[in-house]
Amino acid sequence: MKDRLLSGYRKNGVSERLPRKDAVFSVRETLLSEGSADSIFRQCLLDAKRFIDANSVSDLLHWAFGGERNRKVVRESVHDFLHVGFISPHRDLDDMAGLSEQVGFSSGFSTVTSAVVSRELGYLEGGGNVPTSLFTAKLGSWDENTNYVEVFLPDAPAPRIREWVNDEVGTHVGLILKAPSALPGIRAAFHDERFQVAPFMGEEGIRSPGKAASVIYYERPYGVGKFRVEIFCPYEG
């Protein structure tokens, strides 16, 4: 697989790109860097756009899976576009929409709550769900099947959010199933590649409120953290 432009550094105040040979999405270093909230969030969106511009579903599976049979099962079961997600302390939704347009996302909106990340944060805290808003921006119009980014906005103290950012809680690359009938094959392929369902959710995932769909996170250790792939499963194809 060709080198992908996935991570960044700053040289003379200008963001540069460094080649990496994997398909792991991360904005951790950007979020923990110094600078204004707007500039940091804008750079995160740039990182997200560059990742999804540079990587296809096939690229992701080529890196993540060792077996061609498992790659084929997943590749043929999902739509041919990616999304990425991450937690951010930036909470100005109007400003976020403007910044997303600046870097090339043509449509964006917010929803009330991310049920999945709210539950994961509550699980980590040992209590109830942590209210978490969701901002989504797409590269095309909202009714197009195209790449997009999800930004999770927990209602929590800044130091705690920083800890979650440092641990890359919520960070993922996502795929969307074409039909729910593909889920058993998807599950078998991920398990065969030593991925496990995230511990805060069951094998059937978590239902997405307001949508006829469920979400499952498959993950495995990577470096000091984990590599996570979301499978978004609509109940109707």
CATH superfamily of the domain spanning 27-234? 2,3-Dihydroxybiphenyl 1,2-Dioxygenase, domain 1 (3.10.180.10)
Q: Where are the domains of the chain?
A: 27-234
Q: Output the six-digit token pair for 55.
A: 């990587």
Q: Give the span between the Cα atoms of 103 and 30, in whole angstroms.
A: 16
Q: Output the six-digit token pair for 48.
A: 């997200």
Burial of 99 (0-12, 13-18, 19+ CB in 10 A): buried
What contacts 60, CB < 8 A, 6 or more positions away? Answer: 23, 82, 173, 175, 229
Q: What is the structure's pLDDT at 235? A: 78
Q: Give the span between the Cα atoms of 173 and 80, in whole angstroms.
A: 13
What contacts 71, CB < 8 A, 6 or more positions away? Answer: 58, 61, 62, 65
Q: What is the structure's pLDDT at 186? A: 97
Q: What are phi and psi of 163, to 5 degrees?
A: -65, -40
Q: What is the structure's pLDDT at 204? A: 76
The CA-atom distances, in angstroms, between 7 and each of 33, 47, 87, 128, 222 are 13, 7, 17, 34, 16
Q: What is the structure's pLDDT at 106? A: 82
The two most distant CA atoms of the chain are separated, in Å, by 52
Helix 68-77 / helix 57-64 crossing angle, nearest 10 deg? 150
**Series of mean pLDDT values for 10-residue runs along the chain (237 residues):** 34 37 84 92 95 94 96 97 94 82 82 88 95 91 85 95 95 96 96 96 80 90 88 79
Q: Give the span between the Cα atoms of 26 and 108, in whole angstroms.
A: 21
Q: What are phi and psi of 130, to 5 degrees?
A: -95, 115
The count of other CB atoms within 10 Å of the CB of residue 107 is: 18
Q: Output the six-digit token pair for 142.
A: 């909202």
Q: Give the span between the Cα atoms of 190 and 187, in whole angstroms.
A: 5
Helix 183-192 / helix 68-77 crossing angle, nearest 10 deg? 150
